[in-house]
Structure 1
């Protein structure tokens, strides 16, 4: 009977995700030689090589890819088994580690945590801020149990490692200096702002979103000031140095130096999703959190 060692299968999955033995070793906090040894043992146990040389690197063999397809189903089933047992043993209790991008923490995670302290005092949340794409790495490695991300960063639909739950469509508004000609009166169209100096980051999902939204309006924004932190972006806007698209979850409306305007015509949006490892959505604490996050998102005043 074939020995399917879960630990070695997870090493194979990490290598496939990270691309190199060294990167897999770093992610798993192992030495490269230990990773290579685990994979050699897996190949020997399964009776066929999992890896083959590809230039100066390695890649999965056809057998390795087949094993990984089945391994993902095994991982999901193990999560489901753990979920069922957890329901018998603890119910809705224990610790859940949540990874979330910055603007999701004050708008979704903090209100959820405050409510759960009263309704489920035996459930403890541990929060970790991470970029919208990074949370999937943390989820795959088991360093968080639930991830909040953006739909633009979701892995391909064929990726069987994760289960996703759509939460909300967060509208994008435009932040203008308070003295700007479009700060009052009829709402501007995005095209009306094409010649303005724009503020956004040098990389990452928000740059991609800004460029995509502006491209749909027929122009390429001039990235005059480069900033990724919302406090820095809004400070630059308030100083009259440029304008920026801001998600409604992140926009502050109590700064007299900044006017946040809803755009005319169709409002662009970014889509917020929750993700867990496939099968883990049946764990009682995670099932509760996913339901409560949907409720929190639906009731959020930021998107009304």
Structure 2
């Protein structure tokens, strides 16, 4: 492999454009002797003769023209690299790897990526579904650049490894069978459902969130069925097997014959955050993704 020196190749290309060593030196703000020395060194590095004397001028050899053909492709690629680097530095380009929990992918990440394709097509977002514990392992290992998680299950704000950025509060609604006696009751409260059979996961984040919300309302929920996926939970509610707390993001676009009631008096919620390795929030492309996620976040229901 030959030593292709970009600086010397630029001098050769300029000589081809200007025609003389003197004009080349003027164009590059060099001395004629420096131009000649650099081209002599390039010829030695490549092992070919690049210039032939032609009176007081020099003529490029066939080998020099061969080198220049390839040099043009190299400089074109370098121009593209410069443009992409400038875009990266301005936050207009780059790759951002996002780890996100399951309900955040369709409700939050997908709309954010769709918006970025229009506003910043040079930014490529790679999505990896991962629950809270795995997301932080991936973030710590450098496998993702940004993790979407729940505040209740994130490392503490004092953890020096990460920066936590609040995104929004996802309200918890209650899903009841469509024919449930309380499906249309005005002013429904969580405490009104204390005697119901509940459906939630046997362990993990959602089990804790359900238990915490119910305990704040003054009762311990009786777990009738255990399920972790919203498809299974809502299907069981639809079949009249129990009731469930569900995050609003999980039911926004699902077609189930269930009554989903907003708990206006209780207003339980889970808090969604973005986490990054400390200092990474200053990376322009990551900042663009964070902005898109904030703009895609569901707006709170007023009432």
Query: Is TM more than 0.5 here?
Result: yes
Secondary structure of 1:124's counterpart equals strand
Coordinate RMSD, CA, aligned: 1.7
- After superposition, give the CA deviation of every residue in 1:42-96 in whole Å (9 maximum; x if it has no partner): xxxxxxxxxxxxxxxxxxxxxxxxxxxxxxxxxxxxxxxxxxxx77864321211
State the match for 2:225 in structure 1. 225
How has the CA–CA distance of structure 1 residues 253 and 138 changed in structure 2, closer, same or farther, with 3 Å as cutoff?
closer
Structure 2 matches for 1:76-225, cutoff 5 A?
A: 90-92=89-91, 93-225=93-225
Question: Of the two, which has the highest radius of gyration?
Answer: 2
Q: Distance in 2 between matches of 1:140 and 1:201?
A: 27
How has the CA–CA distance of structure 1 residues 256 and 246 changed in structure 2, closer, same or farther, with 3 Å as cutoff?
closer
State the match for 1:285 in structure 2. 285
Secondary structure of 1:250's counterpart equals helix
Q: Distance in 2 between matches of 1:270 and 1:87?
A: 39
Q: Distance in 2 between matches of 1:227 and 1:280?
A: 36
Secondary structure of 2:147's counterpart equals strand
- After superposition, give the CA deviation of every residue in 1:133-178 in whole Å (9 maximum; x if it has no partner): 3211110000100010000012122211011110001110000000
Instruction: Give me the TM-score of the superposition, normalised by structure 1.
Output: 0.68
Any conservation in 2 of the 1:135–1:149 contact (CA below 8 Å)? yes
How has the CA–CA distance of structure 1 residues 252 and 288 changed in structure 2, closer, same or farther, with 3 Å as cutoff?
closer
For the pair 1:251 / 2:267, whether they are aligned, the reply is: no
Q: Distance in 2 between matches of 1:158 and 1:165?
A: 13
In structure 2, runs of 5+ residues without a counterpart are 1-84
Q: Distance in 2 between matches of 1:280 and 1:146?
A: 9
- Structure 1 runs of 4+ off > 3 angstroms? 86-91, 252-256, 301-304
Aligned length in residues = 217
State the match for 1:65 in structure 2. none
